Amino acid sequence: MPLSIKAVVIDLDGTLLDTAEDLADAAEAMLADLGLPAVPLAEIKTYIGNGVSRLVKRALTRDLSAEPDAELFRRALASFERHYGEHVSRKSRPFPGVVEGLQAFKASGVHLACITNKAARFTHPLLKDTGLFDYFELILSGDSLPEKKPSPLPLLHACRVFGCAPAELLLIGDSLNDTQAARAAGCPVFCVPYGYNRGRPVEELDLDAVVPSLVAALPLIELKAESLADTAEPAVDARPG
């Protein structure tokens, strides 16, 4: 420390935004459609982080890795996506320190991206509705590329877009998915302690630092600003309309 960084990539659910209540509301409505009992919010929080499909499977089975009946899952996923799409940002809000941190990163001129496992049809409205969309040069959703976190592919794509080495790209996240993706890509990774790490403390993860907020990450890095126009590879979902 401090790390020499040209780009900062930030996770969405549990890092930028507290989305648990909107996800829980959609899960509750889905389970009601199927005639199944609701799952408490505290439990839903432990299911977040691997995309909507896995969240739905966990809500159906009350297990992190079990597979539900295929037909039940098909009906449940359609129901969840309908309900969540109707109210993707009704209760979701930035965590404390997020806006201040994004403002500081943006002012520094460092490249800034959001990489999430959430589908683009939910990611873009959610970032726009909460006022965070315009901070990012690049937005990669769970369906932007052939693979998503914990695959290193999204991080390596961001490195190519920003023209930086993996060691110069910092991922800030909240979960095992983030640390696994960062380590596989060769990127440094910080985690916030307030997110959705399956109910486990982030201190147990393989990471470089635990930071209480995005603002708290700034003293631990040296930012190297350069223009996105100087990089060669086109972005995926960069500045989508």
For the question of residue 11 being annotated catalytic, the response is yes
Domain spanning 3-18+92-230: CATH superfamily: HAD superfamily/HAD-like (3.40.50.1000)
Give residue limits of the domains in the chain: 3-18+92-230, 20-86
Question: Are 3-18+92-230 and 20-86 equal in CATH topology?
Answer: no
Rounded to whole angstroms, the Cα distance separating 30 from 58 reads 13
20-86: CATH topology: DNA polymerase; domain 1 (1.10.150)
Q: CB neighbours of 15 closer than 8 A, spacing ≥ 6?
A: 95, 172, 173, 174, 178, 192, 195
**Mean pLDDT in the chain?**
92
Which residues on neighbouring strands pair with residue 112, listed in sequence order?
8
Reported as a single tens digit per residue, the pLDDT across 90-115 is: 999 999 999 999 999 999 989 999 99
Q: What is the pLDDT of residues 208-229, one digit of tens each?
A: 999 999 999 999 998 876 544 4
